[in-house]
Amino acid sequence: MNSSEPQVRALELTIIPLLGSVILYWVYNKVLLGISRRNFKKENNCQPIPTYPHVDPIFGFDYWYALKKAAGSRNLLVWIREQYSLYGYTYFARLQTTHIINTCEPENLKAMHSTKFRDFGVDKRRHEAFVPLLGVNSILLSNGATWKHKRAALAPSFTRSQYSNLPLFEKHILNLIGEIKAENAAAGQVDLTDYFHCCTFDITTELMYGKSVELLVNGDKELMKDMTRSAEGGQERWVLARLAKLVGNPTFIDSASRVRRFMARYVDQAIAYRERLDHLKSLPIQEISKQNVGDSKAVEADRVLYLHTVALKTLDKAALLDELTTILFAGRDSTAALLTNLFFVFAGNPEIWAKLREEISVLNGQKPTFDQLKDLQYVQSCLNESLRLDAVVPLNTRMALVDTCLPRGGGPDGKSPIFVPAGTNIAFHVTALHRRKDLWGDDAEEFRPERWEKIKGQGAWMYQPFGGGPRNCPGQHLSLTEAAYTIVRLAQEFSHIERVDDDPWVESIGLATLNLNGAKVRLTAA
């Protein structure tokens, strides 16, 4: 007998029982999980959910390919709405190895965002898509206690005193008006898109970091292109899902890297502020009054800078870079997209522009106060209608952190609860929700600001331009005020606006969604 045979035999006697125990334990847990889930479904009256008719029911590559094809042809939002018309307002699909529940039901959004908020978090797919741009520390990609901590740090930067700072807006709006007038006079037309992006960038950098970059006047416009390319690249990675790492996207990586290198200057400023503050604390009290904290002389006494707030929380350079980059995109993209989409509509509907100018005539050419701005109901209705019809964040996702349920989508009529296993992704689409004719009427596909005279304040969960619940957009009041002020000031400067071509609205989806064809207009000075 070979001397090694007893050892092999002993090893077999050890490994086989151990392997058998592992398998039995796995089966045991699976059985327990199945019993637990069956009881959960029964207790919550969960009913079967409609399923996408997969050709590939295992990996769902047919669904992924259709989604990717729609995104590649810039027809994703229309395709999404078509799927709901075919399979109901909540349906199940497989996307590669991920289980997806698609929904545009108000009650399901209410559950995810509010009543069952703790059951859902940011999904891994979104995290992996945008990490190279926003970083692992970004509030947009965080969950649980980490997210809660970051959200609290944002709060001081979005108080009423911050978003009602109209003199700060006015300084940059004057630059905007000057640049628009110059190009309109020289070329006989102007595409407002880049100007809106530069203006919102300038306002955000001053409001959040203390000093504006002033891209409108003398900035590097290539930075705007890098921001746009990197935001769109992140969206492309989201569509590719798990294949993103295999396919790669050098343009996205290079653009994201350049944006983050630009943002490094603000990391240095944050650290310098914190070091200066720590130095002051070490001085005798009689010496402190003789010192100046960083660049605080450039900031009004009652303003809270986000740059300072995050510096007080951490000196970790990577964390600072992630947070400061995220807030820059949030401040620039949403408002610029809203304005681009809205002025595209204004240019094709001169009667809306005339009605808007008639409303602001009560100002007698004076700059509006914050209260006057809120009282301009038609201006506010135009903003609401644009965010309804062309939501700047038309699609989003969450992941079930635990076994849970949603209140709508099950049963023959789609009105019963559905079971949502832990790890399932929920894709919710306000682009479909906001155009549902059963909720908004037969004219749901039309831009009609007058509808807000009747529905304002009703059906909160059927209108979700900024999300809802604890994770709603903290900057929504800032964005709406900034957009409203821009509209009013441009309406005071220009009596007529018209389109210069017949190009349709085409989706360009990044961190915000706007018209790929921009807002090419011809303006007449008032």
Mind spelling out the 3-state secondary structure of 142-179?
A: CCHHHHHHHHHHHHHHHCHHHHCCHHHHHHHHHHHHHH
- Round to whole Å and give the CA distance between 108 and 267: 39
In 3D space, the residue among 343, 412, 386, 415 whose CA is nearest the CA of residue 480 turns out to be 386
> Is the CB of residue 499 less than 8 Å from the CB of residue 515?
no
**For 369-379, what is each residue's pLDDT tens digit?**
999 999 999 99
User: Given a cut of 80, is residue 171 above it in pLDDT?
Assistant: yes
Q: How large is the average pLDDT for residues 263-289?
A: 81
d(C-alpha 264, C-alpha 491), whole Å: 37
Of the chain, the percentage scoring pLDDT greater than 90 comes to 75
pLDDT value at position 295?
A: 47
- 322-323-325 Cα angle (round to 5): 65
Instruction: Express each pLDDT in 135-145 by its tens digit.
Output: 988 999 999 89
Ordered structural domains, the chain, with CATH:
47-525 (1.10.630.10)
Phi-psi category of 414—alpha, beta or left, where left has phi over 0 and alpha has psi -120 to 50? left
Sequence letter at residue 253: I
Q: What is the mean pLDDT of the chain?
A: 90
Q: What is the DSSP letter of 407?
A: E
If one counts every other C-beta atom within 10 angstroms of the C-beta of residue 299, the result is 18
For residue 186, the tally of other CB atoms under 10 A from its CB is 9
pLDDT band at 455 (very low <50, low <70, confident <90, very high): confident
The DSSP result for 33-88, as a single string, is HHHHHHHHHHHTT-----B---SSTTT-HHHHHHHHHHHHTT-HHHHHHHHHHHH-
pLDDT at position 296: 43
> Which pLDDT value is given to residue 240?
86
CB atoms near residue 146 (< 10 Å):
12
- Classified as helix, coil or strand, 111 is helix
Contacts of residue 154, Cβ cutoff 8 Å, sequence gap at least 6? 139, 306, 309, 327, 474
Determine the pLDDT at residue 1. 47
Q: What's the CA gap between 214 and 206, in Å, rounded?
A: 9
**Least confident interval from 38-47, 80-89, 216-225:** 216-225
**What CA dihedral angle connects 57, 60, 63 and 66, to 10 degrees?**
-120
> pLDDT-based confidence at 77, cuts 50/70/90?
very high
Main-chain phi, psi angles of 494, to 5 degrees: -130, 125
Q: What is the pLDDT of residue 124?
A: 86
Asked if residue 473 belongs to a known ligand binding site, the reply is yes
Q: State how far the Cα of 119 lies from the Cα of 426, in Å rounded to an integer.
A: 12
Give me the amino acid identity at 306. Answer: Y
Sign of CA dihedral 48, 54, 59, 61: negative
Torsion of CA 512, 514, 517, 518, to 10 degrees: -100
User: For strand 416-420 and strand 120-121, is the pairing parallel, antiparallel, or unpaired?
Assistant: unpaired
In a 3-state reduction of DSSP, which class is residue 314? coil
Please answer whether residues 112 and 428 qualify as being in contact, where contact means their C-beta atoms are separated by less than 8 angstroms. yes
pLDDT for the residue numbered 10: 58
- To which residue do tokens 């709508």 refer? 408
